[in-house]
Chains A and B, each alone.
Chain A
Amino acid sequence: MSRIQNLIPSITRKPAEREDNEPTVRPWYEVKETPEAWGLTVYLPGVAKEGLELAAEEGVVTIRGRRGWKAPAGWTALYRESADAPYELALTHDNTVDVEKIHAELKDGILRVSLPKAEAIKPRKIAVN
């Protein structure tokens, strides 16, 4: 047996810890484009400001939302259509967005984010000599 373990050490090795161990749900979202910016609307019912994380790094905008409500003890669920899993949404913008000027607002479970376009990609006129 130990010979097999020597040949294939992975049999006895414990699986490595994975970072994203909990299942997440992708929320419904919509992106609308205007000449100046992109407007992102994300439906996050049950998420309050405390449970919301909005991060922009390396060309990716990540939104994580955790519901703030837990069923009180004594409640039995008869019928469930929503999930308890946290919301997660990652959008790649590849540096077309000016991250300094991102503006977000969370109201009544809807997150509206305004992602201004980076100067480099705005249309510009080039003068011809």
Chain B
Amino acid sequence: MRSIVQYTHPRSTSLLPSFGFAVRSPWRGLESEIDRWFESTLSDFMTPAFDQRFPVDLYEDKDNTYVRAELPGVNRDEINVELVNGYLTISANRKTHGQEGEESFALSRSIAIPEDVHADKVGAAYENGVLTVTLPKKEEAKPRKVTVEIK
């Protein structure tokens, strides 16, 4: 993989407290150089294109549990969502057009779902490369107020 001449590294990961005499800390240049070296060394091992696991976010509100998975570049028909025994398994096939023709790469991840779920009412939507799975909670799992009488 030949990369274009030299790439800059604009990532600013810190909101540095800026003292009066240096709006940019004099170490910033060095920090970003070192970040770049580490990234280029380690990045070949962990690239999203060849990593079987993809980032997943878990949210909830009082009626549903939501799972958002980052799956860019996958066809809707190639995504499988299965719910088995309280584990949600998302698997997908990503097709890339390499030099040899089409290459297929399998992605898969299982997440434990915290609450009891109405298995037949699970819905999913895929937009802009992000899959959102909505899992409606069973009545017992919804937060309820229980008053306890003290004798």
Name the residue of chain B whose CB is nearest to the CB of A18: B23
Residues A20 and B72 in contact, CB atoms below 8 Å apart: no
Interface size on B, residues (CB 8 A): 46
Q: With the chains together, A12 CA to B19 CA distance in Å?
A: 10
CA distance A82 to B11 in the complex (A): 16
Q: Return the contact of A43 from the options B1, B8, B21, B48 (Cβ within 8 A).
A: B48
How far is B57's CA from A108's CA once the two chains are assembled, in angstroms? Answer: 18
Q: Is A129 an interface residue (CB 8 A)?
A: no
Please give, as numbers and ranges, the residues of chain A lying within 8 Å of B19 by CB-CB distance. Answer: 10, 15
A100 at the interface (CB under 8 A from B): no
Determine the chain B residues whose CB is within 8 A of the CB of A31 once the complex forms.
1-4
In the complex formed, the residue of A with least CB distance to B5 is: A94
A67 to chain B, nearest CB (A): 8
**Listed stretches B59-67, B80-88, B100-108, B116-124; interface member:** B59-67
Do residues B70 and A82 form an inter-chain contact, with CB atoms below 8 A? Answer: yes
Q: List 24 A-B contacts (CB under 8 A).
A: A8-B21, A10-B20, A15-B19, A26-B39, A28-B49, A43-B129, A45-B70, A45-B130, A48-B127, A68-B128, A69-B127, A69-B128, A72-B61, A74-B61, A76-B60, A76-B61, A81-B55, A90-B8, A92-B5, A93-B4, A94-B5, A108-B126, A109-B128, A109-B130
Q: Which A residues have a C-beta under 8 Å from some C-beta of B?
A: 8, 10-16, 18, 20-21, 23-26, 28, 30-33, 38, 43-48, 60, 68-69, 71-72, 74-82, 88-94, 96-97, 107-110, 115
Seen from chain B, the residues whose Cβ lies within 8 Å of a Cβ on chain A are 1-15, 18-21, 23-24, 39, 47-49, 55-62, 66, 68, 70-74, 114, 126-130
